[in-house]
Structure 1
C-alpha cells in the first residue's frame, strides 16, 4: 500500500523546488523529466523528495522514458517510496503518452512501402511486452480498408486463425493482405513459425484470389519485411 508516514509533500518545499509551481510559471517545457514525474507522484519520503525519488527511478532505466513506460506496476513498487497509487499513476501517464503517439501517426491510407506499414503498426505493437499478430486489409488501390488483431500471446509467440483472417478479408471485400506481428525481444529475424504461417496464408489466399502482399516483423526501433528480403 501507499506509504504516507513522514511524506515530504511538495507544498512544503522551497519555492525553487516546486515543480508544479514551476510549470505554472515557466511552462511544461521548462521542467526536467524528473520534475514532471515528481508532479505525478506528489510526494517522496521523509529523507527523499519527490524529485530525488523520480531521479532515482529514471537512473534505473538509464533516463530512458520508453524504458520507464515498460516497467510494470510491481517493478515500480519495488522502489522505496512508491506505493500502489503512485505506481498506477506513473503507468497511466506512460500509457497516455503511448496512445498520443498512436493518434499522432500520419493517416497512411495507401500503403506504398514496408516503411508505411511500420509507421502504421509501430505505435500499436512496437513496444508491447508480448507478441501480437495483426492483418492489414487492402483494396485494389492498396489502401487500408480495415485492420484487425488476430491473436495475442506470450513472448514466445501467438497462434493465428487462418480461417478468421480470410473471413474478415471476404467481409471487407479485401483484395490484398499484409501480415504484421511484433518481436518483443527486438530480434529482426524471421523464425520458422513466422515462415510457416506466411506460407499457410499464401496458400489459403491463392484459392480466394487474395494476395499476401507482405509480412512485416515490427520491433520498437525497426522492422523486417518479407517482401523486401525476397522471402515471399
Structure 2
C-alpha cells in the first residue's frame, strides 16, 4: 500500500494548484506583475494544463530546453513542431503560436509609424518584424518619398530555404504606382550567411541601372539575418 500513497503524493506535488499561491503562475502574475514571471511560467499560462506527471510549467521548461531557451527559436516553431512535445496538443500549440504572432505584430505596429531612413541600421530595424523568424527566403521592397520617409513596405516574393526570385518589373511597377522617389531592396538569408550570392550582386546591378533610367534610385540592398545584416551601400557595392 505504501507505493500507491507515495505515487499519489508525488503526483499531487506536480499539480500547480498544490503550490503556494504566490508560486502559481496566474496568481503570481496578479500578485507581483507580469515581469516577475519566468518565460516558462508565461508559457505555462498559455498551455493551461500539463500531464499526469508534469505541470504546465514543467512542459514549458522542456520546450524551452529543446530550443536552448531562445524565444526567437520558439517563435519559429510551427503547430506541428510544438505538438511533438509531450503534453502539447493542437489547441495548446495554437495558443502558443498565436501569442507569439501577436508579439510579432506588436513590433510591426510600433515600426509602422512614420520612419525616416538615415542609415542601413534604420532599414534593418524597420524590416526586422517581417523577416526575423522566417525559415525561408523572402524579398521585400521599402518605398521612400523625397525626404527618405517610408511610404510603404511590400513583399515581392517568397521562396525556399536557399533562395527566392525578385522580378524587377514587379518592383518598379509597385514603386511607380505608389509615386515613390526611391527604393530599398531587402531579402533574408535564413542560413545566417551574410555573403551576397552572384545572383544577389547581379540583381542589384540590374536594379541600379534600371532605377537610374527611371529616376527611381536604389538606395540600398540589405541582406537580412537574425543577428546582423549586409548593406550593399555600406560596402560600396551600389
Tell me if TM exceeds 0.5. yes
Q: What is the Cα deviation at residue 55 of structure 1?
A: 1.0
Relative to structure 2, which stretch is displaced further, 137-146 or 181-190? 137-146
More helix by share: 2
Spell out the pairing of 1:1-232 with structure 2 (5 A cutoff).
10=16, 12-16=17-21, 17-105=23-111, 107=113, 109-232=115-238
Higher RCO (CA 8 Å, separation ≥ 6 residues): 1
- Secondary structure, counterpart of 1:187 in structure 2: coil
Structure 1 position 139, deviation (Å): 2.4
How big is each residue's C-alpha offset from its partner over 1:12-38, in whole Å with a ceiling of 9 and x where there is no partner?
Answer: 433344211111122111111111111
User: 1:122–1:219: 8 Å Cα contact kept in structure 2?
Assistant: no
Q: Give the C-alpha shift of residue 110 in structure 1.
A: 2.0
Query: Please, what TM-score do these two structures have when normalized by structure 1?
Result: 0.90
Deviates further, 167-176 or 72-81: 167-176
Tell me whether 135-144 or 74-83 shows the greater mean CA deviation: 135-144
Moved more, 45-54 or 136-145: 136-145
Secondary structure in 2 matching 1:91: helix
2:4 aligned residue: none
Q: Any gaps of 5 or more consecutive residues in structure 2?
A: 1-10
> Offset at 1:228?
0.3
Number of paired residues?
A: 225
Task: State the match for 1:3 in structure 2.
Answer: none
Cα deviations across residues 137-184 of structure 1 (Å, max 9, x unaligned)?
122222222221111111111111211111121122222111111111
What RMSD over aligned residues (CA atoms) do the two structures have, in Å? Answer: 1.8
Would you say the 8 A contact 2:73–2:133 is kept in 1?
no
More displaced stretch, 101-110 vs 38-47? 101-110
Task: Check conservation: 2:75, 2:133, Cα contact below 8 A.
Answer: no
- SS for the counterpart of 1:68 is helix
139-148 or 47-56, which moves further after superposition? 139-148
CA distance in 2, matches of 1:162, 1:121: 20
Query: Which digits, 9 at most, give the CA deviation of each residue in 1:29-82, with x for residues without a partner?
Result: 111111111111111111111111111111111111111111121111111111
Aligned equivalents of 2:19, 2:93: Cα separation in 1 = 25
* Long gaps (5+) in structure 1: 1-5
Q: For the residues of structure 2 that align with 1:39 and 1:140, how far apart are their CA atoms?
A: 48
The CA deviation at 1:206 is 2.3
